[in-house]
């Protein structure tokens, strides 16, 4: 491994953060806010660390897999370190643990917050907070590959570490083309949602911030009451549509737009994803109506938003689900575990893996009946590679072990069981809100500092996929 190549690429990552920090500074400076200097200095530091390695390291012709792995994992880590700088320098509710948590939560598109009063933040800092979602949604490394010059060999090895095998399933293009498609869909969804939200009456600033958070499936809002603050059905419907779109594989969206087969209407995965959410919405609506909490139209409205928000790992809220019947909370926890599709901006377990898991269970049952039979797991009538099937099963096991371990640690820190359990699942799934103290309109401020670091670790594992982290630690040199 060549450390200079790794340092140079980490520099690129920081430089990109510096650009967004500078934009946030311009907003802050224009509004004469107290966050101007923290944002400016953070942008300056990122710029210096970004430019400095370029002075020494020549253009890289090739990057080996190990280098790509270190660049991706350390790139995410360095991004989060850079991201917490303006928070830490500005102060307010941001202690070291809080600034780190907020930064990791932003970049991993988790959307869990430690802030009690979001509206007290200056607008420049609010924009930076949403920007962390937007940068993290598409993946900081994909951003670097898109914007900065790379040789073909370098691009391929970094790309293959950043994008999982499952995500590549619906793409039949080279790395460069896939990156361009991802960026095009991402940007189009952001612009469209901003326009629709403005038409629905949101201010330009709020519309941009909420679009960043929706398309990245993040969930940071500029309001203490999240989307509930607007109390507008039109805004809720727009956000719901874009949350679903952002939770679908971008390759499938591209196929739909370019009128190709395996599109949103024909993909068996998309059908299953939407169907499961539909069932969830109906079941929760009926339960809420029967428990006498809401009229049926209101029950349907709140259930739809919450199921789609958690099912796509976004985490926006229109109501506090902490007081909902336990049955509805359990159904919502299922959606927190399931997450959205691979190839989208969401993190966590991913719906595709859950789909393969259930299909594998079916396969094993059939094998019990017909031990000599040959059965294959299929997605869109195409067989899934057995290696991928096995990887998926191991991933699911590791995922469960990780969130149970994190739950144990949190309970050891005297966090109550429901808060610990739901916070662990919500953070490793990059969803955001859980239940009890960390419910949809609550926050993570009551979690002890050590717990915040544990949950930040969960967010990393959820975003970077557990295998990448394990592979990094298994490197010998």
- Please report how close the Cβ of residue 28 comes to another protein at its closest, in angstroms: 13
- Please report how close the Cβ of residue 1 comes to another protein at its closest, in angstroms: 13
- Where does residue 447 fall: left (phi above 0), alpha (psi -120 to 50 degrees), or beta otherwise? beta
Residue 48, Cβ neighbours under 10 Å: how many?
13
DSSP per residue, 289-357: HHTTSS-HHHHHHHHHHHHHHHHTT----SS-GGGS-HHHHHHHHHHHHH---TTSS--SS-HHHHHHH
Which CB, 85 or 409, lies closer to another protein?
A: 85
Q: How far apart are CA 406 and CA 421, in angstroms?
A: 8
Contact 40, 159 (CB under 8 A): no
Identified binder of another protein from the candidate list 53, 75, 137, 343, rule CB under 8 A: 53
Please choose, out of 15-23, 50-58, 145-153, 432-440, the segment that lies near another protein by the rule CB under 8 A: 50-58
Identified binder of another protein from the candidate list 52, 289, 294, 334, rule CB under 8 A: 52
Which residues within the stretch 77-116 sit at the binding site for another protein (CB under 8 A)?
85, 88-92
> Would the CA dihedral through 148, 154, 156, 159 be positive or negative?
negative
- 61 touches another protein (CB under 8 A): no
- 3 touches another protein (CB under 8 A): yes
Which CB, 33 or 193, lies closer to another protein?
A: 33
- 38 touches another protein (CB under 8 A): yes
- 49 touches another protein (CB under 8 A): yes
Contact 92, 187 (CB under 8 A): no
* Nearby residues of 473 by Cβ (< 8 Å), 6 or more positions away: none
Which CB, 3 or 153, lies closer to another protein?
A: 3
- Please report how close the Cβ of residue 26 comes to another protein at its closest, in angstroms: 17
- 51 touches another protein (CB under 8 A): yes
Q: How far apart are CA 392 and CA 263, in angstroms?
A: 24
Q: Which 3 state secondary structure label does DSSP give 202?
A: coil
- 32 touches another protein (CB under 8 A): no
Contact 42, 91 (CB under 8 A): no
Q: Which 3 state secondary structure label does DSSP give 181?
A: helix
Which CB, 92 or 325, lies closer to another protein?
A: 92
Please choose, out of 1-9, 351-359, 371-379, 448-456, the segment that lies near another protein by the rule CB under 8 A: 1-9
Task: At 378, give phi and psi (nearest 5°).
Answer: -125, 145
The distance in angstroms from the start CA to the end CA of the chain is 7
Identified binder of another protein from the candidate list 22, 29, 44, 398, rule CB under 8 A: 44
- 29 touches another protein (CB under 8 A): no
- 6 touches another protein (CB under 8 A): no
- 37 touches another protein (CB under 8 A): yes
Which CB, 85 or 213, lies closer to another protein?
A: 85
- Please report how close the Cβ of residue 99 comes to another protein at its closest, in angstroms: 11
- Please report how close the Cβ of residue 51 comes to another protein at its closest, in angstroms: 7
Q: Which residues bind another protein (CB under 8 A)?
A: 3-4, 7, 34, 37-38, 41-42, 44-45, 48-49, 51-53, 55-56, 58, 85, 88-92
């Amino acid at each position: 491994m060549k450390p200079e190549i790794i340092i140079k690429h980490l520099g690129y990552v920081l430089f990109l953060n510096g650009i967004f920090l500078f934009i946030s500074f311009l907003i802050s400076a224009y509004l004469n806010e107290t966050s101007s200097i923290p944002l400016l200095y953070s942008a300056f530091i990122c710029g210096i660390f970004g430019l400095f390695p370029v002075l020494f390291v020549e253009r890289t012709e090739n990057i080996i897999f190990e280098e790509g792995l270190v660049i991706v994992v350390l790139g995410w880590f360095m991004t989060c370190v850079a991201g917490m700088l303006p928070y830490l320098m500005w102060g307010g509710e941001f202690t070291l643990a809080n600034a780190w948590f907020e930064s990791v939560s932003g970049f991993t598109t988790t959307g869990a917050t430690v802030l009690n009063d979001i509206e007290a933040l200056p607008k420049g800092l609010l924009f930076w907070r949403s920007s962390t979602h937007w940068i993290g949604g598409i993946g900081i490394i994909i951003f670097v590959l898109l914007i900065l010059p790379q040789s073909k060999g370098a691009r391929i090895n970094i790309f293959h570490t950043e994008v999982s095998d499952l995500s590549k399933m619906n793409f039949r293009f080279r790395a460069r083309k896939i990156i361009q498609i991802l960026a095009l869909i991402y940007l189009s969804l952001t612009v469209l949602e901003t326009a629709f939200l403005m038409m629905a009456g949101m201010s330009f600033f709020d519309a941009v911030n909420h679009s960043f958070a929706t398309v990245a499936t993040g969930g940071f809002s500029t309001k203490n009451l999240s989307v509930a603050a607007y109390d507008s059905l039109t805004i809720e419907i727009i956000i719901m549509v874009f949350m679903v779109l952002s939770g679908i594989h971008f390759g499938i969206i591209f196929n739909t737009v370019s009128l190709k087969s395996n599109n949103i209407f024909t993909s068996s995965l998309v059908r299953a994803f939407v169907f499961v959410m539909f069932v969830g919405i109906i079941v929760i609506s009926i339960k809420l109506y029967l428990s006498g909490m809401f009229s049926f139209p209101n029950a349907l409205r709140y259930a739809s938003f919450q199921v789609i928000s958690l099912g796509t790992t976004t985490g926006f809220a229109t109501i506090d689900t902490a007081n909902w019947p336990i049955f509805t909370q359990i159904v919502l926890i299922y959606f927190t575990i399931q997450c959205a599709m691979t190839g989208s901006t969401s993190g966590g377990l991913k719906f595709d893996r859950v789909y393969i898991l259930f299909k594998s269970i079916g396969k094993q049952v059939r094998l019990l009946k017909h031990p000599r039979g040959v059965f294959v797991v299929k997605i869109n009538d195409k067989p899934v590679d057995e290696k991928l099937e096995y990887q998926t099963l191991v991933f699911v096991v590791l995922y469960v072990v990780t969130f149970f371990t994190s739950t144990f640690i949190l309970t050891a820190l005297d966090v109550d069981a429901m808060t610990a359990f739901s916070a662990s699942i919500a953070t490793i799934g990059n969803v955001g809100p859980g239940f009890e103290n960390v419910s949809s309109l609550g926050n993570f401020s009551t979690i002890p500092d050590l717990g915040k670091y544990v949950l930040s670790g969960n967010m990393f594992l959820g975003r970077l996929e557990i295998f990448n982290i394990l592979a990094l630690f298994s490197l010998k040199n």
